[in-house]
Structure 1
């Protein structure tokens, strides 16, 4: 299978690192023109330089701004009014005991993890439908199905993304626009590595080994018994954005390493 996205423009939110950057790189390798987004100009410029070093012929531009701010989203849409592929990757996570999570954190997690994707999908989906082709992907999580006791607020937002994704797919039925959610399991992104940094330093083990220990201890149903790489997750995202995935919509596409203990 050769995925060719030449002539398509893709926006990947929160794409200066982690799954977002790996997705932007994968889309660029497939020929798409990619818009890289991060909160600061410095992080965006650094990501663009890294992307162009990895993919010398990449067509990539940057947009710096915090998309939690509706005015920043409006500016983004005004700057790039027509896109073909939207990957709603922007998200945050933080282990925290339920009884210690204040209302302000519930609101913050919802605004970052859910509302940014809702806002951009609302802005771009009608144009995709008018052109009779488009791809919208929400980066959800297996935590939307297996709500993690150590970060219930995060799990709730990921369940919400699944609901938005399925509902929007139904809204866009027959338009040529597909909407899907990709559900990573434990993934060794920069954010997860930072979360594990104390254990890495204390144990003397590699990040991969410590992440595997974490999976075995806290996600014991994993069938691969390790954390996924960001590239493994990005591969699924790029496929969902491809022309070949035209019959896949309204789906929850798992890249969870078998953590979710169900067949479907």
Structure 2
């Protein structure tokens, strides 16, 4: 299957590293002009350097903005006003005992993990609908369905993301614009690798270490290894293409079978 996104402009929030960077690279390889977003200009420049090394012919546009705030979202729209593909990837997570999560933390997680995507979708969806083509995706998590006891505030925001995505898909009904969420499972990022090394003997080779981690700490996974960011990106790129024109309003899983359910 050949995915051709030439002539399309994409914005991937939180894309200077990790899953977001993998998505930006995947979209660029398919020909899209990609807005790469981050709060810190220096870190963003370093991220774009790596992306250009990985995709020499890629078109990358820096979008320096804290889209977790209303002002930052406005700045991102001003920097890249015409977007055909919006990937709401930005998210934060962290472990806190349920009864110790403060009101401020509940608000902060909701603001960044939910409202950031809502604001950008509210800005770009009408223009996509006017043009009769567009793709909006929210990067969710298995935690939307399997709420983690150590970070229920994070799980709550990802559950909200599924509802938001479905609602915007209904708003775009019949317009040629699709809106979906992507349920990502346990993924190999720098932070997760550090976490695994804390739980598994660091002398064990990485491939075996991650399998031990999955077997002992994430036994629900049918993949029995961490998902690579590029594997998440592959699904996002497909959903961004014309091949996925009949997929909308969905919560599409790339979770390695982590969620023990036929449906999300």
TM more than 0.5: yes
**Aligned-CA RMSD value:** 1.3
C-alpha separation in 2, matches of 1:94 and 1:208? 25
Q: Write out aligned runs for 1:100-115 (5 A).
A: 100-115=100-115
The one-character-per-residue Cα deviations of 1:169-213 (angstroms, maximum 9, x if unpaired) are 01110001100000011001123224345346x532344444333
C-alpha separation in 1, matches of 2:25 and 2:129? 26
> Mind listing any 5+ residue stretches in structure 1 that lack a counterpart?
none
Deviation at 1:249, TM superposition (A): 0.3
- Which deviates more from structure 2 when the two are superposed, residues 240-249 or residues 203-212? 203-212
C-alpha separation in 2, matches of 1:91 and 1:26? 19
Work out whether 1:226 is the aligned partner of 2:219.
Answer: no
C-alpha separation in 1, matches of 2:81 and 2:27? 19
Q: Write out aligned runs for 1:33-52 (5 A).
A: 33-52=33-52
Using a 3 Å threshold, how does the CA distance of structure 1 residues 209 and 113 change in structure 2: closer, same or farther?
farther
Work out whether 1:235 is the aligned partner of 2:222.
Answer: no
C-alpha separation in 1, matches of 2:163 and 2:84? 22
Work out whether 1:31 is the aligned partner of 2:21.
Answer: no
> Mind listing any 5+ residue stretches in structure 2 that lack a counterpart?
none
The DSSP-based 3-state class of the residue aligned with 2:46 is: helix
Q: Are the equivalent residues in 2 in contact too, given 1:208–1:227 (CA < 8 A)?
A: no
Q: Write out aligned runs for 1:88-103 (5 A).
A: 88-103=88-103
C-alpha separation in 2, matches of 1:236 and 1:73? 25
Q: Are the equivalent residues in 2 in contact too, given 1:18–1:191 (CA < 8 A)?
A: no
Q: Are the equivalent residues in 2 in contact too, given 1:211–1:226 (CA < 8 A)?
A: yes
Q: Are the equivalent residues in 2 in contact too, given 1:17–1:190 (CA < 8 A)?
A: no
TM-score relative to the length of structure 2: 0.96
Partner of 1:147: 147
Deviation at 1:123, TM superposition (A): 0.5
- Which deviates more from structure 2 when the two are superposed, residues 142-151 or residues 156-165? 142-151
Partner of 1:186: 186
Partner of 1:214: 213
Q: Are the equivalent residues in 1 in contact too, given 2:196–2:209 (CA < 8 A)?
A: yes
C-alpha separation in 2, matches of 1:208 and 1:171? 44
Using a 3 Å threshold, how does the CA distance of structure 1 residues 206 and 39 change in structure 2: closer, same or farther?
farther
TM-score relative to the length of structure 1: 0.96
Partner of 2:252: 253
Q: Are the equivalent residues in 1 in contact too, given 2:69–2:112 (CA < 8 A)?
A: no
Work out whether 1:158 is the aligned partner of 2:158.
Answer: yes
C-alpha separation in 1, matches of 2:168 and 2:190? 30
C-alpha separation in 2, matches of 1:213 and 1:96? 25
Q: Are the equivalent residues in 2 in contact too, given 1:199–1:210 (CA < 8 A)?
A: no
Deviation at 1:77, TM superposition (A): 0.8
Q: Report the count of equivalent residues.
A: 263
